[in-house]
Structure 1
Amino acid sequence: MAGAECELERLLANHCAPVFCHRKTANLVAARRELMDALPEVLADSKISWVQLCGCRKYCHILFYDRERLERYLQREGHQSFLKEHGYAGRTMEEQLSLLAERYESYQKHGNPFPHEIGLFLEYPLADIEGFIEHQGKDALESGYWKVYGDVEQARAAFRLYDELKMALTTMLAAGFSFRECCAAQTVA
């Protein structure tokens, strides 16, 4: 297997295991630009989609997402209200992702306000997103994959699951299993 494919698979196992095992809607990854050419091969036969949110000469910030799961998550009543407040109402999934990419790149390159709505796309609990905004990222009850302002036990359970999936995928990859085999084994588990 090509070096770029191996590197990309290790990166995805470390940072996107819950997404590729269909236990989380999306994850954001900063990847070296050279790895972009390996994406079609690594994602072949996968139900995972991706969109580049921002890029420079050396790195790309890529959102990997489970489209079906993301669409269901964003359709929840409270989530729709939050998205409407942030200018996403009445848009298709592609339009929403395009707007998110525009805002994220504007933040990264021009210092414009951070698009906190990205937390919803990443399946962070709405209470935690709103708490983060209200407390300006301070005074969290717990911190892990995100800062927790709501249900700490629910967040801890998610953090444990994500850690277990990451460990399983990275261990299986190191043992010589293909990335597809690793993800399939954990999706069934």
Structure 2
Amino acid sequence: MAGAGKELEKLLANHCAPVFCHKKAANLVAARRELMDALPEVLTGSGISWVKLCGCKKYCHILFYDRERLEQYLQREGHQNFLKEHGYGGQILEEQLELLAERYESYQKHGSTFPHEIGLFLEYPLADIKGFIEHQGKDALESGYWKVYGDVEQARALFRLYDELKTALTTMLAAGVSFRECCAAQAAA
């Protein structure tokens, strides 16, 4: 695999290991534009999809997601109500992602309101998303992959799992194991 592909694999191992191991619905990554051409080869056989949320001259903000896991997570009753309150009612996943991309890009480029609903797409607990909005990002009980306002012990367990997956993938990649094999091994574990 060419240099861009290897660089993208390292980036994904560091920032998206839980998604590529099918233990989390989605992650958002800022990747250099030059790496976009390597996406098809790197993603082949992974079961992971992607959507560009925003692009600028040097970087693209890309949401990598496990379609099945994301759809199941968004279908939860409380999650559906939250999405409807934020203008996502009755849409299929592609339409929801398109609206999210519009809002995220508007925030990035024009200073519009931050789309806090992105937290649901990233599989953050709803209590933590609502807590973040209510407390304006302050007074969190814990902070890791997101700010925690609800179940601290559950969040800590997830943070540990995500750290373990990141370590396992980056270590395996450094040892010469292919990215696909790394992800498959961790997904099966």
TM > 0.5 = yes
Letter in 1 for 2:23: R
C-alpha distance in 2 between matches for 1:79 and 1:151? 17
C-alpha distance in 2 between matches for 1:177 and 1:65? 23
Matching residue of 2:132: 132
Pairwise CA distance, 1:143: 0.1
Pairwise CA distance, 1:11: 0.1
Matching residue of 1:33: 33
Matching residue of 1:20: 20
The root-mean-square deviation of aligned C-alpha atoms, in Å, is: 0.3
Runs of 4+ more than 3 Å apart: none
Aligned length: 189
Matching residue of 2:142: 142
Letter in 2 for 1:80: Q
Pairwise CA distance, 1:57: 1.1
Which whole-Å deviations, capped at 9, do the CAs of 1:130-185 have from their partners, x for residues lacking one?
00000000000000000000000000000000000000000000000000000000
Letter in 1 for 2:120: L
C-alpha distance in 1 between matches for 2:175 and 2:78? 43
3-state SS, counterpart of residue 63 of structure 1: strand
Which runs of structure 2 are paired with 1:41-120 in the superposition (5 Å)?
41-120=41-120
Pairwise CA distance, 1:49: 0.2
3-state SS, counterpart of residue 61 of structure 2: strand
Pairwise CA distance, 1:77: 0.3
C-alpha distance in 2 between matches for 1:23 and 1:45? 17
Which runs of structure 2 are paired with 1:176-187 in the superposition (5 Å)?
176-187=176-187
Pairwise CA distance, 1:62: 0.0
Pairwise CA distance, 1:47: 0.6
C-alpha distance in 2 between matches for 1:25 and 1:159? 14
Using the size of structure 2 for normalisation, the TM-score is 1.00
Pairwise CA distance, 1:53: 0.1
Matching residue of 1:3: 3
Pairwise CA distance, 1:45: 1.1
Using the size of structure 1 for normalisation, the TM-score is 1.00
C-alpha distance in 2 between matches for 1:183 and 1:163? 14
3-state SS, counterpart of residue 51 of structure 2: strand
C-alpha distance in 1 between matches for 2:112 and 2:53? 15
Percentage of matched positions with identical amino acids: 87
Consecutive unaligned residues of structure 1, counting only runs of 5 or more, are none
